[in-house]
Chain A
Amino acid sequence: MTDIIRLSAADLAAKLAAGEVSSVEATRAHLDRIAAVDGEVHAFLHVNDRAVAVAEDIDRRRAAGEALGELAGVPLAIKDVLVTTDMPSTSGSKILEGYMSPFDATVVARSRAAGLVPLGKTNMDEFAMGSSTEHSAYGPTHNPWDLDRIPGGSGGGSAAAVAAFEAPLALGSDTGGSIRQPAHVTGTVGVKPTYGGVSRFGAIALASSLDQVGPVTRTVLDSGLLHDVIGGHDHRDSTSLTDAWPSFAAAAREGASGDVLKGLKVGVIRELPDSGFQPGVAASFRAALDLMQAHGAEIVEISAPHFEYGVAAYYLILPAEASSNLAKFDSVRFGMRVETSGGTVEDVMAATRDAGFGDEVKRRIILGTYALSAGYYDAYYGSAQKVRTLIQQDFASAFSQVDVIATPSAPTTAFRIGERIDDPLQMYLNDVTTIPANLAGVPGISIPSGLAADDGLPVGIQFLAPAREDARLYRVGAALEAALVDSWGGPLLDRAPALGPVAEPVEAQGPGGAR
């Protein structure tokens, strides 16, 4: 049974389709794994007690000859920011403890329809505000590579679940890097689609103009398969694009087998010099670029002069939109209510929000309220929206010269839990490379580039493409992944330490399922 959990989703799906393994077996194997290691990892806030029943149903339908989707029967972890009718949705906050949504998020509905088996809801920074999952009201998640370290944030739970082999697939959300940065620190893959590429309906809103839902997996192909399931227009989300998308799984397969890197122009941003990164991170980044070059890619230095204002703009736009989006948590229609004796509803609202929101959330709400308030709008929120335009122009200019932009996915490897929690500004700087994509709406992917020489912890490389060119990221990502895994002699995650009472990791198999 150990083998099952170490399979990629694509490989597991193939075995399910071939009848070599049943969904019930696969689901039980993952539930067993969760039981064995999640006490240490704490990726899950809720485990689905109906998972086996759902798996049974898939097996029954397969046995009856029903045509099922490629991923049918594969277990899926779901970030708690996505609402589900059968499991509580807390968004990592006490204010929503026990909240049962009467509707499923669109991505959840599509996943169910594709036959994926929801395993549970994963931990996250409260209301997706954070880069470490330390701001979860339910306790932090621990990085499977080193349990004393953060798994990234806000989607640390999904990334850790996947990295710890508790699930082959997970759904995450990315507002400023919340999929890509956890991927980086856990040695996994994460994708932020083009804004509007995946429906936000049912994703508890943080910053409406920045949020996107995306896949969290161990391989690029797995992300492509999951992205194919969840993506596409949704009439319930006015901002969702009506474009017809190509298959991202196909793009990944193309990338893994073809000659994608030859002649590919890869842009490296002059204004993000290596000196701004942990040496081990920069070195891993350079090594990955060298490998790409060896395969025929051309590395081009480009300028993005306004990226340096990105973090500032982001920490104005996000709190402003969030302060409005979080106003709905007021004790009236759902969620926590703190009664005050003889108090007015205004008192109850204020007391509830004080008790129900954590410090980071309060901080950002107050900041956002400030940025929007009379007399400050033009200087703050208004200005930040202009920086957005400038960053889009930077991207437009860059993409006229290169096919993709490459950056390290974050400045440092996983820091220790508690190390940066008291310095919000320091924490915000974790997002310096990921934020521009959210501001501009362009897609981004993070894939493992190796382990940092200075601390042996995972490093990710991020690629960015023009808006709507998500397929390009899958091609390039899969191509580099194939080359890297080949150079390592096996997936990076094989080198992660063993967790819990489970036997040693399986010997490095041949090149992963992408071939």
Chain B
Amino acid sequence: MSEITPDLVRHLGVLARIQLSDDEVTRLTGQLDVIVDNIAKVSQVATPDVVATSHPIPLSNVYRPDEVGETLTREQALQNAPDAADGRFRVSAILGEEQ
């Protein structure tokens, strides 16, 4: 059932923003193929009548009041910044459009 191909792995690398070498693509394709074959069996027992659980302990309506709380100073915000200018984080030119 597993359809892990090098092209798919490369595509996933793009989605995940990880630059993969050809070597890595080859290795990952092989490893993931084996893994996915193994984990695909979950769909056997996951019949339509079974409800999905996304939270192990059921809770709901967890909120906080609309009051200002602890915030970071600008120094703290920027303290680990690889590059900053004018109090802002600096990045190289962006390729893609905003969403």
Residues of A within 8 A of B (CB): 99-100, 102, 194-196, 209-210, 235, 238-239, 241, 306, 309, 311-313, 315-316, 323, 327, 330-337, 340, 343-351, 353-354, 357, 362-363, 365-367, 369-370, 373, 379-380, 382-390, 392, 424-425, 428, 438-441, 467
Query: CB-nearest residue of chain A relative to B55?
Result: A209
Query: CB-nearest residue of chain B relative to A366?
Result: B12
Q: Are B94 and A346 in contact (CB under 8 A)?
A: yes
Report the tally of A-B residue pairs with Cβ distances under 8 A. Answer: 180
The residues of B that contact A370 with a CB separation of less than 8 Å are: 4, 8, 12, 32, 36
Distance between Cα atoms of A428 and B90 in the complex (Å): 40
Query: CB-nearest residue of chain A relative to B50?
Result: A386
Query: CB-nearest residue of chain A relative to B43?
Result: A383
9 CB < 8 A contacts A-B: A100-B79, A311-B39, A331-B82, A333-B89, A349-B17, A365-B18, A367-B35, A370-B4, A390-B50
Interface size on B, residues (CB 8 A): 54
The residues of B that contact A363 with a CB separation of less than 8 Å are: 28, 31-32
Q: Are B34 and A357 in contact (CB under 8 A)?
A: no
- The 9 A-B pairs at the shortest CB distance, nearest first, are namely A441-B56, A383-B46, A334-B80, A385-B52, A337-B82, A386-B46, A350-B19, A102-B76, A312-B39
Distance between Cα atoms of A69 and B21 in the complex (Å): 54
Q: Are A99 and B80 in contact (CB under 8 A)?
A: yes
Distance between Cα atoms of A102 and B72 in the complex (Å): 8
The residues of B that contact A344 with a CB separation of less than 8 Å are: 92-95
Q: Are B92 and A309 in contact (CB under 8 A)?
A: no
- Report which of B39, B62, B91 forms a contact with A316, defined as CB distance below 8 A: B39
Given A99-B80, A363-B32, residue A345 in contact with residue B95 (CB < 8 A): yes
Given A238-B62, A345-B93, A467-B57, residue A379 in contact with residue B40 (CB < 8 A): yes
Q: Are B17 and A332 in contact (CB under 8 A)?
A: no
Distance between Cα atoms of A389 and B54 in the complex (Å): 9
The residues of B that contact A99 with a CB separation of less than 8 Å are: 80
